[in-house]
Copies of this chain bind each other. A is one copy, B any other.
Amino acid sequence: MIDYRITSKEGYDDKIGDLVTMLEYTRATILEDIEDLTPEDLDFLPDESSNSIGALLLHIAAIEFVHQVFSFENRDLNNEELLKWDTALSLGAKARAEIKNKPLEYYTKILTEIRERTLTLFKTQQDSWLYEEKPWGKMNNYWYWFHVMEDELNHRGQIRVIKRLLENHQ
């Protein structure tokens, strides 16, 4: 039975633990949504301007990675990182052309590796870190990680619509 409580989380400071609970719940629901998808399902496009579920999964991983860099390293992506993640970050035509023919494990492995680093990094911080503001704008670390969650939940909704269109298409 799932525990529908947000409570303190061992190994994390108070509010960081709340955030981790929310992020982990969000991720668990996505992994459940996609657990049976084949490579063909992951590449399915409801229409020519859509994103595939595979591209959305890689986008979710990319967004988490860039927010690690913004929040824990206080910098922008370097050229090497930008080259690696640009397609998944931008989605659209380039993602439709390049992100395909991969099994589910390709995506879940990347998601898991990036998430493990997030959790390790969160353990090194206190709640006061959440309120540290960035020199480049009205942004704090708390908002960055809220945004990782809200972007992922938004894409979960898209994935669910695409899955239903896929079922009706078959």
Contact = CB atoms under 8 A, between A and B. Distances in A.
A110 interface: no
Nearest to A156: B154
Contact of A157 (B25, B131, B158): B158
A54 to B, nearest CB: 16
B50 A143 contact: no
Assembly stoichiometry (copies): 2
A66 to B, nearest CB: 14
A25 B161 CA distance: 23
B49 A164 contact: yes
Given A50-B164, A162-B161, A165-B47, A6 B155 contact: no
B49 A142 contact: no
